[in-house]
Amino acid sequence: MTIDYARAADLLERYRVARETFDGDGWVAIFTEDAEYHDGPFAPPFIGHNGLRTFLLTSAETQREVDFTVERHWVSGSTVLAAWHMSSTDRSRGDVARVGGFLTMDIASDGRIDRLREWWMMAPTTNG
């Protein structure tokens, strides 16, 4: 499926909202049932809706006040590319984490994400 720039922006917005609010139903709704989520180049992927929920639940246990921003995005055929940054507060220590990264989304024929890969780097943490 070819995705256009506006539809990619809508999908990234749904991604942002679900990620910031830890909305499990909204999160899995944007992914195919057997989607792969690669949270970095070396870790094993989270696979399928159960794996995706595991990622989000684990994030919710350790993070609060998440602010995810897409800086810019591009579209090439059925692939969405985006530069992003995020900040969050660690639930146990109160440290603020700042992360910058890049993602690619491979879009299935139904418009949902089939594979998402992220590369990111975290800045040194600061006390909130």
Range 24-28 average pLDDT: 97
State the pLDDT at residue 124: 78
Domain 5-127, CATH number (from 3.20.20.70, 3.30.470.20, 3.20.20.140, 3.10.450.50): 3.10.450.50
Among residues of the chain, what percentage have pLDDT more than 90? 93
Q: Where are the alpha helices (DSSP H) in the chain?
A: 5-21, 24-29, 48-62
Q: Per-residue pLDDT for 126 more than 80? A: no
- DSSP type of residue 18: H
